[in-house]
Amino acid sequence: MFDLFSDIFTYRDNALTRIDPRVKLLIALAALIAVVTSARPVLPLAVFVLCLGTIAALRIPAKLVALRLAAPFSTVAILVVIQTFVTGTTPLFALTLGGWTLTAKAEGLRQGLLLGARVLGALSIVLLLGIATPAHRIFQALRGFRISKEWVEIAILMYRYIFVLMDRAGDLAAAQRLRLGYTAPRRALASFTALAGATVVHSFEQAGRTHNAMRLRGYRGTMPFGPLPALGRRDRGLLALLLTVIAAAYGFFAWGING
């Protein structure tokens, strides 16, 4: 649980964490658009490999990366299988399961691989962004793109209290486990329901106490934020360079400008 949500790597000092989060957001957005609109799987897969390579170069533990990619990989696998057996007309091979014959088709497989590559490419971009930028800096950078202050405020508070509530839920779950709350499926369901209910109640109480604390420091309905610094020359140069690279790669790999 902790590994999955750990953001400790975002506070490391490296070339990526030093880039202004607004630049990273814009580059990530451009790359996402290129990946999800790509007509061929080459670009998304190249982005996927590039992002994973960068993550490896940043020495992020493989276990953490595997944990975060486990769910998307499963989704992609299901996607490819469903597309292969549902879409298209050209048969590749047939399977018989419980009296049913399922025929895999070439068009479906191609379509599934393209969709899967897009999902993996997009997720790897988000994963890299999340590993190279603390969430609160991403939220604050959004202010630079005129996202409403209220949205940013709620996102920051949610991010802060996820960890508090996770700790609380972890303690409650441990207390339930120590009293054999998860030893049988029915009991586990009852324990989990109670845990979820207690966490909701706790989060309401926490919200009340936090609101009081905010009022005592002058909160009047809007969280004040410091000014965003102007983008430096290095960041602007990097932004221009990477946007050009993404546009060129999109032309070459996504649509095949040269044929």
Applying CB under 8 A, which residues contact other proteins? 7-8, 11, 134-136, 139, 156-157, 159-161, 163-164, 206, 209-210, 212-220, 223-227
CB nearer to other proteins: give 179 or 215: 215
CB nearer to other proteins: give 164 or 247: 164
Q: What is the smallest separation between the CB atom of 223 and other proteins, expressed in angstroms? A: 7
Q: What is the smallest separation between the CB atom of 11 and other proteins, expressed in angstroms? A: 6
CB nearer to other proteins: give 160 or 179: 160
Q: How far is CA 68 from CA 40, 155, 204, in A?
A: 25, 21, 29
CB nearer to other proteins: give 40 or 149: 149
Distance CA 210, CA 165 (A): 13
| CA-based nearest residue to 246, from 19, 70, 29 | 29
Q: What is the smallest separation between the CB atom of 160 and other proteins, expressed in angstroms? A: 6
CB nearer to other proteins: give 139 or 250: 139
Q: Name the pairing type of β-strands 91-97 and 100-105.
A: antiparallel
Q: What is the DSSP string of 55-91?
A: HHHTT--HHHHHHHHHHHHHHHHHHHHHHHHHS-SSE
Q: How far is CA 104 from CA 22, 78, 81, 96, in A?
A: 44, 14, 9, 11
How does DSSP classify residue 17?
T
Q: What is the smallest separation between the CB atom of 150 and other proteins, expressed in angstroms? A: 15
As a residue count, the chain comes to 259
Distance CA 58, CA 52 (A): 10
Q: What is the smallest separation between the CB atom of 7 and other proteins, expressed in angstroms? A: 7
CB nearer to other proteins: give 85 or 139: 139
Work out the number of other CB atoms within 10 angstroms of the CB of residue 178.
8
- Judge whether 127 and 53 are in contact, CB under 8 Å: no
Q: What is the smallest separation between the CB atom of 166 and other proteins, expressed in angstroms? A: 9
